[in-house]
Structure 1
Amino acid sequence: MTSASLARPGTVAAPAGTAPRVFRSIGTVTGAATVHGVHGAAGRTRWKCFAGRRQLDSASEAVEWASVPPGGLSGEHRHTRTEEIYLVLRGHGEFLFNGAAHRVGPGSLALTAPGNVHGLRNTGEADLDWWVIETLSPGTRAVLSSTGHTHPGVPPMGDVVIHDLFKERTVSTDGVFSGPLRRVEVVELDAGQRTVLGSPDAELAVFVHSGEGRATSGADAAELVADTCLTLGAGTSTTVGATAPLRLLIVTLAVPERAEEVA
């Protein structure tokens, strides 16, 4: 059995030679980089990229984690080509959207579509940590894939969209996003419970918000602890068992090519 321990720094490369690969990427926030002046803001941000285009089959840019200290700011910037979620993991602050501030805390899920300006400020007394997933808009994907020769342009600013994921449990992005990021959900397991994760036509990005467990798929396995992130390939199946109460945050990233094959 192949097992990847996640109590060490870095992102572990997924095992090669499988088709399709189950664990596309596995990593923890340990060893996160310290970046200064993110999006033009003064101060520092801790940042970790778990997966980028090379690890993902969906039209996704990156799966990341970020953290700013009390009083810190992730600067306001406009999205013109991508759709992005901020999911607050810990801490309290203000989500800045098109010039207005909105209070956020653990479980706050903010959706930013192209044309809008966003940022995040820590107004609490502890670090503000959040999960970031950025995906290409259909227009951008068409240009990059050479199926479209001109970008359709940047939409006008829209209304703020913030959900309480821990209360709602499942959030659909319909009506806000038109790219691969379709759904965000919470799965909670008591110690000893198991669940099976997988989709025939979508990758899954999974973040361990709290608890401990183990993910297995065939001969491959990974130990799960808080602040672990893994991405699961489309058309694969992974069993997750909890050894302590476990909270998983799961994002569905549609893979059009897989959807066509399944159909």
Structure 2
Amino acid sequence: MIIADTAAPAEVHGVHGAAGVSWWKCFVRGPELTGAWEAVEWARLPPGGLSGEHLHTRTEEVYILLSGHGEIILNGHHTPVGPGDVVLTGLGTRHGLLNTGPEPLSWLVVELLGPATAAVFGRGPAGRSERNEAMTAAKVFHLGEPGEIDPRSVLTGPLRRIARQRLAPGQADTVAADGRELTYFVIDGSGTATSGSASAELAPEVSLTLPLGAGATLTAGPDGLELYVLELLVTEGNPA
């Protein structure tokens, strides 16, 4: 299992061409995994800060808003967003994010290789996936309570589930990355993650990623445990 947190982020100036500063940290990169991941990251904007508009032609992206309030800019249209909102950005979409509130705005970033790019890097089957006519280029959902989203109405790759999960105090959940890879981000509470002889503390702003073939038991502490989880299938076209 791969454990990371938001401590000591990099200070980024002029993110995507916008003036000002932001903070950023990468939890895990695609080459550390088998599936069609580009990266799992965390970012934060100060009040009034802007992550500049940019066009996605090679990757698709998931934003999960964690704190603060702002506006997501999707192909020039501004939509208010806040904690619990999930933004899916498909191929061919231009997007940016503006902090409109008085507090820092933070969000989880999951970037995924588009099918054609995944095939080039050997992390997806050969051939280009066609978009269904019913698919949209981008969409905003809300996961304010435990529940889940099927991202396939927007995204073309193998990401199958985005969920908000809550474990009661002392409750345990044993998961296996069998034919899939999983990445978690703790929102609230505390607990532990155990994989074989390894154990790690879980707390807010801690990330846990399970590569293909890994397994772990997540056990909530006395105040329970709440987290986001994203599940990505590892297809037959991936290397063994």
TM-score, length basis structure 1: 0.83
CA contact (8 A) 2:70 2:99 kept: yes
Q: Which amino acid in the other structure matches residue 219 of structure 2?
A: G
Q: Which residue of 2 aligns with 1:164?
A: 142
Cα 1:225/1:177, change in 2 over 3 Å: same
Q: Which residue of 1 aligns with 2:226?
A: 247
CA contact (8 A) 2:93 2:138 kept: no
Q: Which residue of 2 aligns with 1:140?
A: 117
1:182 correspondence with 2:160: yes
Where do residues 1-263 of structure 1 align in structure 2 (5 Å cutoff)? Answer: 23=1, 25-145=2-122, 158-167=136-145, 169-243=147-221, 244-257=223-236
Cα 1:214/1:258, change in 2 over 3 Å: farther
Deviation at 1:53, TM superposition (A): 2.0
CA contact (8 A) 1:115 1:154 kept: no
CA contact (8 A) 1:44 1:68 kept: yes
Deviation at 1:248, TM superposition (A): 1.0
CA contact (8 A) 1:196 1:240 kept: yes
Deviation at 1:47, TM superposition (A): 0.2
Counting matched residue pairs gives: 237
Q: Which amino acid in the other structure matches residue 73 of structure 1?
A: L
Q: Which amino acid in the other structure matches residue 214 of structure 1?
A: T
TM-score, length basis structure 2: 0.90
Cα 1:48/1:106, change in 2 over 3 Å: same
Q: Which amino acid in the other structure matches residue 226 of structure 2?
A: R
Normalized per residue, the structure richer in strand is 2
Q: Which amino acid in the other structure matches residue 30 of structure 1?
A: A
SS at match of 2:116: helix
Structure 2 CA distance for aligned equivalents of residues 127 and 180 of structure 1 = 32
Percent pairwise identity: 44
Q: 5+ unaligned residues in a row in structure 2: which ranges?
A: none
Q: 5+ unaligned residues in a row in structure 1: which ranges?
A: 1-22
RMSD: 2.7
